[in-house]
Chain A
Amino acid sequence: MKRLFTILLVVAAGTTFAQQRSLVELRDGWMYSADSGMVTGAFMTIVNRSNQPDTIVAAKADCAEHAEIHTTIRNSDGTMGMRPIGELIVPAQQTVVLKPRSLHVMLYGLRRSLRPGDRCILSLETKHSGTLRIDLRVRR
């Protein structure tokens, strides 16, 4: 009886967790190492399993003074650069990958030196799914 109760409790907890889990998820977060005060880029995969598009409207990180979404561009003269984008739309049932030479979260003014193996928590504010968090793993 005690065992049955435990199983039921675990199943109920799992169901509740699944219901609460957002249909928009952040995965595989990482960022480049950098010194205190510097800028660096953060990358991840955003999965939208819902039937409506969602939009990332703001970014925040516990290791940085300021964060925003950027994209890398190639100018007509061949030079490379990057620009901030106000919002990032994640279409319904689609995955958006933030990766080097492409979309990334720019972290400004690091509050501490971050070396490979360190962690930083990034929050992305969405229009429809609340605030999504991911643990960024620092790598070279």
Chain B
Amino acid sequence: MSWRTYAATVVLGLLVGCSSDAPPASSPLRATDGRTYDFPADLRGKVVVASFIYTHCPDICRMTIGHLLDLWERVGGDTNVVFATVTLDPARDTIAALHQYAEVWGLPTERWLLLTGTIADVERVLSAFGVVARKSYTERLPSGEEVYFIDHTDAVFLLDRDGIVRDRREGSSLDVADYARLVQRYAAQR
């Protein structure tokens, strides 16, 4: 990534963080429910809790998913709310890998979509949300297998029914009770 692209991503991130009134640009992503979504446009009409993780992430993403599971217990009963978790690592996170991840964590995949796609489409979605993801370092295991890690933005986004980002905050340190009230407030709006 050139410094110009990087600077543009950071500026875009700041703009999104300030709650732009334009919905993020959409790209086609495949989901664990078997459908392909023009994400996030196809979820308009629902309040969307959007998050970004990768399945080889052992710390920050797990904290985020743990908080989101607690959030789900508070707001998941509301059919106006959808959770959407997009991979930061489309090269490894196939639909099968995301299904496996959902099974390990017990994610209720009927209204909690895990999404992946081509590297280009996922990068477009990340850019639209101002999310940065870049390979950091690679560990070579004794077996010869190489495992790489990703430095990434730690953020959860709340989109209203019109698809506009209304809130952005760190996912790994989410105050679940406070966030649940915010989600409920937007879900109650018509």
Contact with B along A104-131 (1 / 0, CB 8 A): 1011110001010000000000000000
Q: Can you list 16 residue pairs at the A/B interface with Cβ under 8 Å?
A: A33-B104, A35-B100, A35-B101, A35-B104, A40-B62, A41-B58, A66-B142, A77-B10, A78-B132, A80-B154, A81-B149, A82-B59, A108-B139, A109-B143, A140-B66, A140-B105
Report if B77 contacts A (CB, 8 A): no
Instruction: Note all chain A residues with C-beta closer than 8 A to B132.
Output: 77-79
Please tell me if the beta carbons of A82 and B149 are within 8 angstroms of each other in the complex.
Answer: yes
Give the interface residue-count category, chain B: 35 or more
Within 8 Å CB of B58, what residues of A? 32, 34, 39-41, 82, 104, 106-107
Q: How near does chain A come to B73, taking the closest CB pair, in angstroms?
A: 12
Query: Bound complex: CA of A100 vs CA of B67, how far in Å?
Result: 13
Of A77, A81, A100, which contacts B62 at CB under 8 A?
A100
**Is A51 an interface residue, CB under 8 A from the partner?**
no
Task: For the complex formed, measure the closest distance between the CB of A76 and the CB atoms of chain B, giving whole angstroms.
Answer: 11
Contact indicator per residue, chain B 121-164, by CB within 8 Å of chain A (1) or not (0): 00000000000111011010111010101111110000000000
Tell me if A14 is interfacial: C-beta within 8 Å of chain B: no
Interface of A is mostly: strand
Cα distance A65–B141 in the bound complex, in angstroms: 8
Residues from 64 to 120 in A contacting B, C-beta threshold 8 Å: 65-66, 68, 70, 72, 75, 77-84, 100-101, 104, 106-109, 113, 115
Size band of the A side of the interface? 20 to 34
- Asked if A38 is at the interface of the complex by the 8 Å CB criterion, the answer is yes
Contacts of B133 in A (CB 8 A): 79
The answer to whether residues A79 and B145 also contact, given A84-B139, A140-B105 and a CB cut-off of 8 A, is no
Q: Is the Cβ of B172 less than 8 Å from the Cβ of A101?
A: yes
**Residue of A with least CB distance to B101:** A35
Q: Which residue of A lies closest to B172 (CB)?
A: A101
A140 to B62, CA, bound (A): 9
Knowing A78-B153, A109-B143, A140-B66 touch, does A100 contact B59 (C-beta < 8 A)?
A: yes
A104 to B63, CA, bound (A): 13
